[in-house]
Structure 1
Amino acid sequence: MGWVTRRQLTDLLGALSLVLALAALAFGLPALDRALPADRPVSADRPYAVGGGVTVVPPPGSRIDVTETRPTDDEGTVLFRIGPVRYLITVRRFDGDLPTAADRLRQRITGTTGYQVTGTELTIATVSGLAGLQGGYTAPGRGGRYAVFVADGRTIEVTVSGADLDLGRTLPAIDVSTRTLRYDPADAK
């Protein structure tokens, strides 16, 4: 067995340092990510930018789920949580009319196993004048409501879901919030 040279010892220490740094990244960053909450409080007294020129005033007591929220200049998605109730707003590019947009949203809802649209579809309007359609749906152990609006080549889809008891408590505040939806073409790209 030979002697270890100073250069070999330096190389070994460098390699060990690199392995330790990679291990810290591989295990430390995911642990840090898990330690940070996925939802953050959001102010209910000013509009929140969903994306694509669309804003909404969130319901009081809601929190934004940052893992599902993706605002951009052209489109966007925001997921608010009000306790166990999910309030999702999605803005997408769309080339069609309101009945077509409503049909597409209903098909996506009923495309999920166990989900079915219930009742009749009703007209809805926002304070800013967006006209839309809304309806309800059910799923095993859950209920929900949907609404869809079309503005300037975009569809604005709203889906709300939760257990019936939770929905009953939060739907009035969500209805008020949905009516604050506003599209400003100056904010869209």
Structure 2
Amino acid sequence: MARITRRELMNLLGTFGVVAALAGLAFGLPAVDRALSAERPLQAGVAVDVGAGVTVVPPPGATLDVTGTRPGDSMGSVFFRIGAVQYRIAVRPFEGDLETAAAQLRQRITGNRGYQVASAQLAVDTADGLAGLQGGYTAPGRGGRYAVFVGDRRTIEILISGNDLDLGRTLPQIEASTRTLRIDGTAK
């Protein structure tokens, strides 16, 4: 019978150590990730940076979902949750007019399987006088609203979705939040 040398024993223990460390990373990190919420509380009444110099005051009770929030110098996005309702804002460089921006957003909405624009577009303005268009859409198991604004060579797109009951309950607060949109800087 062969004897295991001290060196072989140390190599075997080292191998088990590496396997244990890899297993800890493979199973431990995803468990920690699932345990940490992607939602962050917000301070009431304080504007949030969407990106490209655009800010918005979120609705009361909203949380910031970091999985869809990416502010940047020339473009950006922010993702809020109000209960089960999702409220997303995206800003990016744009050289066209408001009608073109609205048509492009409607086309992207209806490009998703089962999504349909459900109502006529209506004019909407922010408190600072930024003109926009808004409308509604339906999706499988959800309803939604959209709005688009164009200003300072940027388009600001808003998508709101949720089930009809939750959406109806939170829409007034979201509309009030939308009116707080501001373009504070120049596009880069």
Q: What amino acid is aligned across from residue 81 of structure 1 in structure 2?
A: R
Cα deviation, residue 21, structure 1:
0.8
Cα deviation, residue 139, structure 1:
2.4
Q: 1:176 maps to which residue? A: 176
CA distance in 2, matches of 1:24, 1:119: 52
* Alignment gaps of 5+ in structure 1: none
Aligned length: 188
1:70 aligns with 2:58: no
Mapped contact 1:70–1:77 kept (Cα < 8 A)? yes
Q: What amino acid is aligned across from residue 42 of structure 1 in structure 2?
A: L
CA distance in 2, matches of 1:3, 1:14: 19
Q: 2:32 maps to which residue? A: 32
Deviations 1:80-100 (A, max 9, x none): 111111111011222211111
Deviations 1:135-180 (A, max 9, x none): 1112233221111011222211001111112111111100110000
Mapped contact 1:43–1:58 kept (Cα < 8 A)? no
What is the correspondence of 1:12-51 to structure 2 with a 5 Å cutoff?
12-51=12-51
Mapped contact 1:51–1:91 kept (Cα < 8 A)? yes
Helix, strand or coil at the partner of 1:103:
helix
Q: What amino acid is aligned across from residue 172 of structure 1 in structure 2?
A: P
* Alignment gaps of 5+ in structure 2: none
Q: 1:138 maps to which residue? A: 138
Q: What amino acid is aligned across from residue 115 of structure 1 in structure 2?
A: Y
Question: TM-score if structure 2 supplies the norm length?
Answer: 0.93
Identity among equivalent pairs (%): 66
CA distance in 1, matches of 2:169, 2:50: 24
CA distance in 2, matches of 1:26, 1:5: 32
Helix, strand or coil at the partner of 2:68:
coil
CA distance in 1, matches of 2:36, 2:89: 24
Q: 2:148 maps to which residue? A: 148
